Amino acid sequence: MRPKRTVLLFLCALGASSQFAAAESYALRTVVPGDSLGLIADRYRVSVDDLMVVNGLSSVTIHPGQVIKVPYVAAVGGPAEATAAPPPGFRWHTLGPGESLSTVAGAYGVSIEAMVGANPDISSLDRLPVGFELLVPPALGLVVALQPGESLLDVVERHGVQPEALVRANELRSPFDVAPGMLLFLPGVRPTEAMARLEKVREEENRYVWPVHGRLTSYFGPRNLGMGTSSFHRGVDVAAPWGTPVVAARSGTVTYAGWSNQGYGNLIKIRHAGNAETWYGHFSSLAVSVGQYVKQGQVIGYIGSTGISTGPHLHFELYEAGRAIDPLAHLR
C-alpha cells in the first residue's frame, strides 16, 4: 500500500478546493469507460462542483472521449509536443552504415536489454535500417508513453515501479508536469515482454543458426563411404576439436537424448514449431535431457566421435514436414 499512498499524496496535495475555481491552469484527463465525474474528482482530490464550474458543465454526466479540465494551483509543465522529448539523461543516436543495436549498446556502455527498454517498440534486434533513430538510456529501465486518461498512479501500479524513483528519474516537480504522449523512464523495470517478442523475431529472421563452427567434411546428398553407412548423407558433418560445445540450432523441446544404435552414437533430437526437427550426432557427452525446452544457442552437448565416426565432429540433420532437407540452405 505504501507506493499507492505515496503517489496519491504526490498527486493530490495541491491545496484546498476553494482555490481551484480561480485556477488558470489545468491538467487534461480524457474520460475512459467507467469514469464518472465523482471518480475523477476523488482521484484528484477536487470537488465535483469545481470540476463542473471550470468545465462549464450543467450536468454530472460525462462520456468516454470527453476531455475534462482538472484545475490546480501550481502550474508546471504543459502539453507534450507532437514529437515527445526523451526523458532526462537520454540521447538520440542515428544508425550509420555497419551499425546495429549491439554495436550502439557497446559504444555507449549499456546492455542490449537497456537499449530494448529504451526502444521497446523496435521491430528487430539485428536488422534495423541505416538512419533509424534509437534512444540511448543512462541505465536499465523501460520507457513508456503516457496514454490518454492515464495517471502516474496508473503507471506505478501497472509496472510496479517505486514512485520516488519514477519522480526522480523523470525530474518531475508536480503531478501535473505530465501530459498524454509524454515519454516516462521507469528505472529498473526490465523490458521482459519486448525482449521475448524480439527473441521470437530474431529466431524467425535467423530460423536455424550453426550449432557449431568448424570445417565441413561431408555435405548433404549421395555418398559412399562404406563403414556400413547409408549411400545418402541426410545431413552435414562439421569437424571441431573434441569437447567443443554444440548449441541448439533453434529453440524447441528435446525428444531424444541418448545412445543410438543407428551409427549416430550419442544422439540428440529437438522438435521445433511446425513439427520441424534437428538431429545432432556423435557427442562425447550430453548437456540436456528428454522433455527439456532449450533456447536457440543454448549448449546441448559436446563434440565427440561416438558411433560410426572417423574423428571428432558433429553430424547435423534438419527435417521439415518429415523430410530431410539440406541444412546449408537454412543455417545462418
Residue 26 lies in a domain: yes
Cell of 100: 546495429
Range from 64-78, 211-225, 311-325 that averages highest in pLDDT: 311-325
Residues 304 and 221 in one domain: yes
Residue 201 has pLDDT above 90, yes or no: no
Query: What confidence category does residue 132 fall into, taking pLDDT thresholds of 50, 70 and 90?
Result: confident
Residues 196 and 229 in one domain: no
- Contact assessment for residue 87 and residue 185, using Cβ atoms and an 8 Å cutoff: yes
The total number of structural domains in the chain stands at: 3
Q: How far apart are CA 70 and CA 29, in angstroms?
A: 7
Nearest Cα to 300, choosing from 319, 285, 317, 316?
285
Kindly give, in sequence order, each residue whose CB lies less than 8 Å from that of residue 95, ignoring residues fewer than 6 positions away. Answer: 104, 128, 129, 130, 131, 132, 133, 134
Q: How far apart are CA 235 and CA 230, in angstroms?
A: 11
Residues 195 and 228 in one domain: no
Place of cell 557427452: 285
β-strands 252-260, 232-233 pairing: unpaired
Residues 155 and 61 in one domain: no
CA quadruple 227, 228, 234, 235: dihedral positive or negative?
negative
Residue 3 lies in a domain: no
Averaged over 256-283, what is the pLDDT?
A: 95
The boundaries of the domain holding residue 29 are: 8-72
Q: What is the pTM of this model?
A: 0.54
- Residue with the bigger pLDDT between 78 and 168: it is 168
Query: What confidence category does residue 326 fall into, taking pLDDT thresholds of 50, 70 and 90?
Result: very high
- Residue with the bigger pLDDT between 210 and 77: it is 210
Nearest Cα to 303, choosing from 253, 247, 260?
247
pLDDT tens string 91-117: 999 999 989 999 999 999 999 999 999
CA quadruple 157, 160, 161, 164: dihedral positive or negative?
positive
| CATH number, residue 109 | 3.10.350.10
Query: What confidence category does residue 76 fall into, taking pLDDT thresholds of 50, 70 and 90?
Result: very low
Q: How far apart are CA 298 and CA 246, in angstroms?
A: 8
Residues 97 and 43 in one domain: no
Query: Left if phi > 0, otherwise alpha if psi is -120 to 50, otherwise beta: which for 265?
Result: left
- Burial tier of 56 (Cβ tally within 10 Å: 0-12, 13-18, 19+): exposed
